[in-house]
Amino acid sequence: MRPWLIFVFALLLPIAGARFVVLDVIGGAFLVLTASIGWYAVKGGMDITWLLCLAIVLFLNAVFDAFILIARVMRTESPIFGHKLPWQTNLVHALLLLGPVVELAGASLCWSVYREHLANIVLDDQFEHIVPERRDPYGSMETNRPGPGRMLVAPAQTELGGGNLQLSSTSKAQGID
């Protein structure tokens, strides 16, 4: 998925350039910002939080851009594409019309990565009982951390019923004496 996401975010930059050409400075700056955040989200690893935000933002932006383009096409009297228009104008119009499609594709890709992440979380939770040593939510792989099913361990009782309650190595590692 990563190469496709990078490709979509790279495609947003020429579309932003086309927006700057037609003096839609806010729209162009927003697309540059969106592409930058997208690149940051996939640069080191797939940052799921940013990808979810991008999915929502790109979807909403695609819907609004489609409405803006429909309104612009409805009120213009000159043709959008044509042999009489310069190639630069045709290119800018093609990029502007391609904008909502690329934004929707980016939103779809970000959403599918997010859904796949959720499916893996659910899958991990279903098989938690099979794999007793789980990764600590804070990133440690140590096995002496407290976790589900770990508690204080009492030694075997002596003949007189005595015996002190001792702490397991987990509790000692936490500094509980």
Burial class (CB in 10 A: 0-12, 13-18, 19+), 50: middle
CA distances from 25 to 13, 19, 88 (A): 13, 7, 19
Residue range 17-32, pLDDT digits in tens = 999 999 999 999 999 9
Q: Which of 69, 71, 67, 65 is nearest to 31 (CA)?
A: 65
pTM for the full predicted model: 0.65
Report pLDDT digits (tens) over 136-160: 555 544 555 444 555 544 455 545 5
| Other CB atoms within 10 A of residue 36 CB | 13
Closest by CA position to 106, among listed 45, 41, 43: 41
